[in-house]
Structure 1
Amino acid sequence: MKPVLPIAALALFSVAACDKPKPRQAAAPLAVAPAAAPATPTAPPASTGLTQREEMAGFSLDAINAAQDPVNVPATIRAGVPVVVSGFGFDPVAKTPGKAVDVVIDGVAYPTEYGHGRADVAAYFKAEALDPTGFRAALPAVKPGPHTAIVRVVSADGQSYFDGATISFYAR
């Protein structure tokens, strides 16, 4: 067993003493990813080119950023950061989900992610069909000062839209 030890030591030294190491590919430089920003809507608003109906949308604007219930409690948000809105909306005539929901901020319509489950809405209106009526959107930042928001629901048949009440909020 003693002859194995000198052979192993010799092999170890010969590998360690190699002055021409095997060439290796350089590692790709690590790219620093930019900070994740809320998605800016890329699709056009679904209500573009449609006719406004006289009836008011079935809707609620549950939150603007951290401000809860801005329909009933005046909201104040930070200026210069994306505006994140959430709530629900449905076709009040058909009493079903609309084709889409847009949110209008200061007269400019933006699309939302529509169809989120809202069991609370279905239970309140006693209509299971109203479960997929939730919406969310991350919209461009607003400047300091007063602003308005309107929840706009595209009708179930996609031919027109309903506006909700104008909701005022303030950015500081």
Structure 2
Amino acid sequence: MIVLGTNGATGERNIIFGSVASSIINMSDVPVLAVPPGGSPDDIKHITFATDYHEGDLQILQQTINFARLFEANIEIIHVSEQKSQLDEIKFRGSRDLVKGETDYEDISFELKYGSDFFPVMADYLSSKPCSLPVMVRYKKTFWEKLVEKNHSNEMVFNSNIPLLVLIGD
């Protein structure tokens, strides 16, 4: 794992040039723990795991569970969907049932939130709930995906005042 300090929130959400922290997160083959000024990973009791129902998320969640056991922390799994739909509800319930059936960690809860933009929904959620460590998964993207899709972990690094753990998916 790489542990690094960040410069903290810049206040500018649409940053064109990345920081050292975001570059390391985007290129690293190992998990990265980004700690902003004043942030401390000392007292991890509430972990928020962001999922997009990716194929490898269950495996990465197991890593998060192993990490949570070290601190006796609870885990909240959150998915942000663009709009309410039956398909999203089916994915949410299926994911919840799969996690409950495939893991033995008892202190896990599940949230489904709606919004057209991931970051404001996630920021609002994190400010309303106790969270000492948000966890995100970075999957490798094609050149075109990098151009068109937003990088949620970069947004979180630039705007978070608590540590952020980015795990690497296959």
Q: TM-score, normalised by structure 2?
A: 0.27
Which structure: greater strand fraction? 1
Which is bigger in relative contact order (C-alpha 8 A, separation at least 6)?
2
Larger radius of gyration: 1
- TM-score scaled by structure 1? 0.27
Q: Which has the higher helix share?
A: 2
